Structure 1
């Protein structure tokens, strides 16, 4: 049975400009330059803000019923005035308020060279492999992650190559090629798990010392006990003295659990540099905050297209359908260009607004970078100060960095929850974490501090915190439990 009913719905639709701003707020400065280049390539109306006018041509396509198109265009009033008036289309300097008074910041370099995977592929040329083995090897290398591990199962590799290369291979063929790759540099590359990774490195080490032999046997036969740091159990089972066990453990600790990161030479891998989005200077008791946009181009509207619309306005009645379609194309591109320029401007203003609020909120901390001076601060605090939505503050804070006179920090670093001491004073959870780090760093590694003991230490300092909270903070600091911190 069919029913008809009326419903009222309140829907919020975002304008193209709002969508642009949201997208641009999310990306850091390092990616903004590339995003601007992409927009310049896609939109012929947009150009660099140089004095000379651009001579770039543009193309447009049209199809369908010309009569209906002309009718639609006649209904659509073109607001020509807003496009031909130069005052309405100002060149927007992205660098405005984006440099210090001395303009002394050097450009942050970037690394060029061979990537980790390219290094592995280049080593294939040193081996006598058939074309069939080369296909397998290239696929295996492509599935090795940045840590140097092969995370894909052999059966899955067999299926993938059969599907993608239309080539039937056996699991034994894949295993044979994996063994070849595991002989590549760095040692341990191509391992399926940590145990295999450590074994590959130990097997490649030269020498026949008892320490090396014991280390290999520990990883091969007692890996689970080793990961759980049950050293007494290992010593009993292998009949090792304390010194023999310590020498063997020392050999293992020299190994690299992530061989993919072993290529420290910048010619062997690409090093990602952090490019700060903000630069903060502190001189004579005064802060100077600026956006770091030194490499970003100036943008403006190409005057050629404004002139085209001006000419259309003068001779509007004499234009053909094709010419009108060209004008519609230009109008769309003009809209897009104006939205993009305005979005960039709003992005920069919003970034400065949020960072200025954070600076004002954490002013005492930014003087010297003393972590104990960090006040408890959540997204809502900054949202209320800036009259922005919490989601907007979150987008600004995500993946953004600030360069200060005491280091470079992610904006997320300055946000933390608050706790009250026994005296009623509100402190940042970051201060609690710093105390935990200091206590664990100074502990006796033969008898590391348990979470219960850490609770007692904090209570002695007037921080009344539950054991589960201490465990949560310890995990957030990537510090293992006491048993796993134990050393000989």
Structure 2
């Protein structure tokens, strides 16, 4: 039986202005300009230019109101209802601990013909009838971004029958596939890595060269042993001496395992636009925001005068009432946006200053071993803001220093205990681990157990599973796959 009852609940909800500030805070410099342009287009009460002195008192009064509303960082407010960001990796370690939902924004600059367009152009140079061209187009359309056709040819044959009304068989499709495999780049349209490498070897300028022939034998007859670097087994199986196998392996490892190249077949160039600029003035660090972070915006004087005129007139007219309401909404939205931008600037500088104070030793010479263990909570406590606010500042933002440009999440890491009882950044341990691998004998690379022992001898209390995790994050393969002849 259902009953109705009344209950009194005290809850706190974010205002639209607070939500606007949250969204602006996480936008990187590269996107802020387009966000401002978008707001200028949709709100005629917002203009570019410095604020006029006559309106300063009014705007300052409004700013105080906004700051009261937008000062949500100090309050226990759940913003999950408004934004879908995931802060499960709140420690910001910079080692893959972020949620995939977080925005790693990039700026694709380049253009040009895609891989599929280039292949279609090459298909046009073949003397094919209309039916064969349609089959060729279907095959090219099945090529993935890295250059492989992983879809079963039988499935492609079914697609041709249903979508193109073309009845074909495996022999005809494979014949056209072989023609496509002769296109550039070499290795394109292969169905697996073995076929990809074989196509490239068979297209070598001197196919009768003994090194090419030995390389082909290895790929055809000993591919499994090759992928596991069991070179001794290959030597015995193919009766090769040390020089023969060394030359052949060197040739194979120079081939391209991903002939399709980058995603979508386009070359992407990413330019980093730093959000902060750090300068050393007579031994003292000074932080400044990129000028794009401080757009000059003002409320339109003509709209303000229009509102004053309408507001003093007769309110009985419904059309006039609607006009007054519209103008007031636009003026309010313009002021909210300007104040949200100012609030963004203050929060960015406050957070970056706290990071600088925490990691000042690193900023002096950029030595990675001088990075201190630091998590989001450390900075959040220091600036008395919520962890989610710090995360939004750190995500997709970077700083230009005299020792290079660094993403802000680079400075966050967990601590590893040492024999002396101190905590050091896991980045220091990774740096030491990388140096050990770089300096090892590639004929007898160090196993994870040996790496653990050496690190423990150096004073780092670290477990084998942690070494394996750091090695994977540094994209260092296991010892067996680091072995060289």
TM-score of the two chains, using structure 2 as the length reference: 0.79
Structural RMSD (CA):
3.5
Residue 276 of structure 1 corresponds to 274
Identify the range of structure 1 (345-354 vs 7-16) with the bigger mean alpha-carbon deviation: 7-16
How far off is 1:340 after superposition?
A: 2.3
- What do the CA deviations read for 1:413-446 (whole angstroms, capped 9, x no partner)? 1111112211112211111111110000010111
CA distance in 2, matches of 1:161, 1:386: 62
Is 1:392 the counterpart of 2:389 in the alignment?
yes
Per the TM alignment, residue 472 of structure 1 is displaced from its structure 2 partner at its CA by: 1.4
> Helix, strand or coil for the counterpart of 2:405?
strand
| SS of aligned partner of 2:291 | coil
Shift of residue 215 of structure 1? 1.6
Pair 1:195-2:170 in alignment: no
- Matching of residue 449 in structure 1 with residue 446 in structure 2: yes
Q: Look up the match of 1:216.
A: 216
Whole-angstrom CA distance in 2 between matches of 1:113 and 1:413: 30
- 1:258 maps to what in 2? 258
Identify the residue that residue 340 of structure 2 maps to in structure 1.
343
In structure 2, the residue matched to 1:289 is: 287
- 1:414 and 1:225 mapped to 2: Cα distance? 42
Q: Distance in 1 between matches of 2:268 and 2:59?
A: 41
Structure 2 portions without partners, runs of 5+: 64-106
Displacement of 1:10: 4.3
Structure 1 residues 262 and 415, CA gap change in structure 2 (3 angstroms) = closer
Tell me the SS of whatever aligns to 1:474.
helix
Deviation at 1:89, TM superposition (A): 4.6
Q: Relative to structure 2, which stretch is displaced further, 113-122 or 129-138?
A: 129-138
Structure 1's 422 and 177: CA in aligned 2 closer, same or farther, altered over 3 A?
A: same
Larger mean CA deviation between 167-176 and 471-480 belongs to: 167-176
Aligned to 2:102: none
Query: Shift of residue 298 of structure 1?
Result: 2.6
Contact 2:40 2:47 in 1 (8 A): yes
SS of 1:348's equivalent in the other structure is helix
Contact 1:377–1:414 under 8 Å retained in 2: yes
CA distance in 1, matches of 2:282, 2:234: 61
1:283 Cα deviation from its structure 2 partner: 3.5
Aligned mates of 1:40, 1:257 — CA distance in 2: 48
Number of the residue aligned with 1:18: 18
User: What's the offset of the Cα at 1:186?
Assistant: 2.2
Matched residue count: 435
Q: Kindly report which structure 2 residues correspond to 1:115-194, keeping only aligned pairs within 5 A, or say none.
A: 116-117=114-115, 119-120=118-119, 123=122, 126-127=125-126, 144=143, 146-150=145-149, 167-169=164-166, 179-194=178-193
Q: Residue 261 and residue 280 in structure 1: after superposition, are their counterparts in 2 closer, same or farther (change >3 A)?
A: farther
Q: Separation in 1 of the partners of 2:144 and 2:388? A: 33
Moved more, 467-476 or 362-371: 467-476
Aligned position for 1:74: none
Aligned to 2:298, the other structure's residue is in SS state: strand
Distance in 2 (alpha carbons) for counterparts of 1:363 and 1:485: 37
| Map of 1:479 onto structure 2 | 476
**What is aligned with 2:103?**
none
Quick one: structure 1 residues 338 and 125, their matched pair in 2 at CA, closer, same or farther if it must change by over 3 Å? farther
State the alpha-carbon separation in 1 of the partners of residues 301 and 29 from structure 2: 28
Q: Name the CA shift for 1:322/1:190 in 2 (closer, same or farther; >3 Å).
A: farther
SS at match of 1:300: strand
The counterpart of 1:403, out of the listed 391, 396, 400, is: 400
Residue matched to 1:228: 228
The separation in 2 between residues aligned to 1:344 and 1:362, in whole angstroms, is 27
Instruction: Say if 1:288 and 1:313 are closer, same or farther in 2 by CA, change over 3 A.
Output: same
Question: Could you tell me how far apart the structure 1 residues matched to 2:440 and 2:376 are?
Answer: 35
Query: What is the alpha-carbon distance in structure 2 between the residues aligned to residue 174 and residue 338 of structure 1?
Result: 64
Q: Cα gap change, 1:141/1:293 in structure 2, threshold over 3 Å: closer, same or farther?
A: farther
Counterpart contact for 2:315–2:321, Cα < 8 Å: no
- Looking at structure 1, the residues matched to 464 and 15 of structure 2 have their Cα atoms a distance apart, in angstroms, of 49
1:296 positional shift: 6.9
Q: The residue matched to 1:413 in structure 2 has which SS?
A: helix
Q: Does the Cα contact within 8 Å between 2:416 and 2:461 map onto a contact in 1?
A: no
- Bigger shift: residues 467-476 or 167-176: 167-176
Alignment pair present for 1:204 and 2:174: no
Report if aligned partners of 2:311, 2:324 keep a CA contact under 8 Å in 1: no
CA deviation vs aligned residue, 1:15-41 (integer Å, no higher than 9, x gap): 112211222222221222222222223
Residue in 1 aligned with 2:315? 317
CA contact (8 A) 1:29 1:293 kept: no
The structural deviation recorded for 1:399 is 1.7
Write the deviation string for residues 64-120 of structure 1: whole angstroms up to 9, x where unpaired.
xxxxxxxxxxxxxxxxxxxx9664358x9xxxxxxxxxxxxxxxx985442544555
